[in-house]
Amino acid sequence: MIAVFKREFQTLFTGPIAYFVWALMFFFAGLFFYSYNILGGQTALTGVFDILYTISLMLVVPILTMRAFSEERRNRTDQALLTAPVSLTGIVMGKYLAMLLVFALGMAITLVLTVVIAMFGATPAWASIFGNYLGLLLLGGNLIAAGMFFSTLTESQFISALLTFAFSFILLMFDSFASLFSNATWLVTAIEFLSVNTRYQAFASGTISYGNVMYFLSMQALFLFLSVRVLDSRKWQ
Amino acid sequence: MIEVKNLTKNYGSHVAVDDISFSIAEGEIIGFLGPNGAGKSTTMNMLTGYLSATAGDIVIDGHDILNEPNEAKASIGYLPELPPLYMDMTVREYLNFMYDLKKCKLPRAAHIAEICRIVKIEGVFERLIKNLSKGYRQRIGIAQALIGNPPVLILDEPTVGLDPMQIIEIRTLIKTLGKHHTVILSSHILPEVEAVCDRLIIINRGHIVANATPKQLSEQYAGGHHLTVRVAGAEDAVVELVKKIPGVKKLSVLGTKEPGSIDLLIEQEDDADIRAELFSRLAARHWPILSLKSSERTLEEIFTSLINQPIVNGNGGDRA
């Protein structure tokens, strides 16, 4: 697992992907920090976290995960991985953790912004910042697991990114489905239960509930498990 | 070292490998031979655990590939048809990665340096793999297979796409490796396996059509040996005379290729050698032999006839 993790992490930096992803995160975080906090004079980093939430879903994760297994399969390097004495779980976890680390390091830009706020004598809203940080990390992990799963399905990086994008898009739009089914209360309840946004907003407001953490963790576990299953099933085709 | 029993692989309704069984002893170099699409790569992919068999058992060095995949995989060094190289890495990074991936316990620097020396890639150690030629990539592929010093090496078409000099080098390398490893190599080129292998397994359309040493193969399938003879004399009279020599199985006239002479193709009985008798009888009539050639069927011809013969009832039994 460690070998796969190290290689994956290194590859993200020998190619443009990690830099591109970071550039996206830094640019949008900086832009919103400038307009809300510097120009608007706010001390809360809500604007910054909101935009990070959106671009993580729509851009960052699809780009980060699109090559995970698609590229290996296209270049037949998966033969080296799958014939090595390593478990599939080890391979999947190694890749997942490498991408999660790149994502987490990109998020760390917000720490710089927090320090800037503190330097001007304002007290940052620590509970909200911590909640946002944890929420974003869980959400990112969730999406990375899903994106990686989609990359096991195809040799094409483009299709892999597109599937992840479509998945993210549905998550983002999920809440608005509830209003479509307002006369079927059980469906509304189900949608509210599954909604990523509702749960994320709880983190953003600084509330960390056991149920919400479990929701994100179990969804990650589900996609990691599915990735392993897809890789395993390929042997049996 | 390797035991394969009733191995079958179906891709949907297509049967790629049909109920094959063989075993390979320690230290043997086995040539896996067959035309493209015969099932060689599929079999190798199953041996290495990349694909799972539809039915049958594979035991590598005492470990069943299904029940103890990690132990079985650890005893195999595998060079797939396309070397699994990461183009964005240098040779050093790649071999170190494979060292970690295989959880190798041997002293790292010394082990990798030794492998590089064996496959002669020390000169490109710090270069990016994507900038290297096909010959070097193939060697790096062999190098990664050697990491961890596995007892079994499985090489899928190791010389494909190389130039003649490189082919000779890789062959010599495989021969050297065969001293300390059990090697299976596949090829669709006969002289290649003939030169390095102790035993050939010829596979065609998913069936094993032959499993023997090159020598046994020539003896078993060479058939009656042939003589081509050119005699200066009248056709009818010569044919009449030669027919009567004991040991002649079949005689055909090839026609006149030199004025005043006739060419004959003589097929001899299995243990017969009629050359001396032929000479003295013709000499008695003053019909000189202008040329005499004995031709045996080469392995190439045996191979061609083996893979062209219809599979009547292969070792798979009656499979609809």
pLDDT in tens, A109-142: 888 888 888 888 777 778 888 888 889 999 999 9
Tell me the two tokens of residue A76.
Answer: 């037949």
User: pLDDT grade, residue B317 (50/70/90)?
Assistant: very low
Query: Do B98 and A80 count as a contact with CB atoms less than 8 A apart?
Result: yes
Question: Which residues of chain A have a CB within 8 Å of the CB of B50?
Answer: 79, 82-83, 235
**What pLDDT sits at residue B302?**
73
CA B215, CA B193: separation in Å to the nearest integer? 13
CB of B184 within 8 A of CB of B44? yes
Superfamily of domain B2-220 in the CATH hierarchy: P-loop containing nucleotide triphosphate hydrolases (3.40.50.300)
Q: What is the mean pLDDT of residues B208-224?
A: 76
Question: Which residues of chain A have a CB within 8 Å of the CB of B103?
Answer: 85-86
Neighbours of A195 (CB within 10 A): 17
Residue A133 amino acid letter: Y
Alpha-carbon separation of residue B238 from A143, A180, B230, B272 (angstroms):
89, 102, 10, 20
Please name the residue of chain A whose CA is at the shortest distance from the CA of residue B72.
A85
**At a CB cut-off of 8 Å and minimum separation 6, what does B284 contact?**
none
Question: Which residues of chain A have a CB within 8 Å of the CB of B74?
Answer: 85
For A86, the closest of B11, B82, B101 (CB atoms) is B101
Query: Do B100 and A85 count as a contact with CB atoms less than 8 A apart?
Result: no
Q: What is the DSSP string of A162-175?
A: HHHHHHHHHHHHHH
Query: Do A83 and B98 count as a contact with CB atoms less than 8 A apart?
Result: no
CA angle A152, A70, B84 (to 5 degrees): 115
CA A236, CA B66: separation in Å to the nearest integer? 12
Report which listed range, A150-159, B32-41, B223-232, is most confident: A150-159
HSE (side-chain half, CA atoms, 13 Å) at A115? 5
**What pLDDT sits at residue B314?**
44
CA distance A9 to chain B (A): 12
Query: Do A236 and B52 count as a contact with CB atoms less than 8 A apart?
Result: yes
Query: Do B101 and A82 count as a contact with CB atoms less than 8 A apart?
Result: no
Tell me the two tokens of residue B272.
Answer: 């017969």
User: pLDDT grade, residue A188 (50/70/90)?
Assistant: confident
A10 reaches B (C-beta below 8 A): yes
Fold agreement between B2-220 and B224-296:
no
Query: Do A79 and B50 count as a contact with CB atoms less than 8 A apart?
Result: yes
List the 177-196 stretch of A: residues with Cβ below 8 A of B: none
**Among residues of chain A, what percentage have pLDDT more than 90?**
51
CA distance A109 to chain B (A): 28
**What pLDDT sits at residue B319?**
37
Task: Say which residue, B254 or B46, is predicted with more confidence.
Answer: B46
Alpha-carbon separation of residue A181 from A184, B85, B121, B219 (angstroms):
6, 52, 66, 81
Query: Do B100 and A14 count as a contact with CB atoms less than 8 A apart?
Result: no
HSE (side-chain half, CA atoms, 13 Å) at A235? 22
User: pLDDT grade, residue B316 (50/70/90)?
Assistant: very low
Query: Do B78 and A83 count as a contact with CB atoms less than 8 A apart?
Result: yes
Question: Which residues of chain B have a CB within 8 Å of the CB of A78?
Answer: 84
Query: Do A14 and B88 count as a contact with CB atoms less than 8 A apart?
Result: yes
- For chain A, the distance separating the N- and C-terminal CA atoms, rounded to the nearest angstrom, is 25
CB of B154 within 8 A of CB of B48? yes
A78 reaches B (C-beta below 8 A): yes
Domains of chain B, by residue range, sit at 2-220, 224-296
Mean pLDDT value across chain A: 89
**What pLDDT sits at residue A173?**
84
Query: Do B50 and A237 count as a contact with CB atoms less than 8 A apart?
Result: no
Question: Which residues of chain B have a CB within 8 Å of the CB of A86?
Answer: 70, 101, 103
Please name the residue of chain A whose CA is at the shortest distance from the CA of residue B128.
A14
Query: Do A10 and B70 count as a contact with CB atoms less than 8 A apart?
Result: no
List the 83-102 stretch of A: residues with Cβ below 8 A of B: 83-87
CA B103, CA B106: separation in Å to the nearest integer? 9
User: pLDDT grade, residue A205 (50/70/90)?
Assistant: confident
- Give the count of Cβ contacts less than 8 A between chain A and B: 71
Interface test with B, best of A83, A232, A235 (most B CBs within 10 A): A83
Interface test with A, best of B86, B98, B142 (most A CBs within 10 A): B86
Strands of B2-11's sheet, edge to edge?
B14-24, B2-11, B55-60, B63-64
Query: Do A236 and B82 count as a contact with CB atoms less than 8 A apart?
Result: no
Residues of B with CB under 8 A from a CB of A: 11, 45, 48-52, 69-71, 73-74, 76, 78, 80, 82, 84-89, 93, 97-98, 100-103, 144
pTM: 0.82
**What pLDDT sits at residue B224?**
56
Class of domain B224-296: alpha beta
Task: Say which residue, B311 or A19, is predicted with more confidence.
Answer: A19
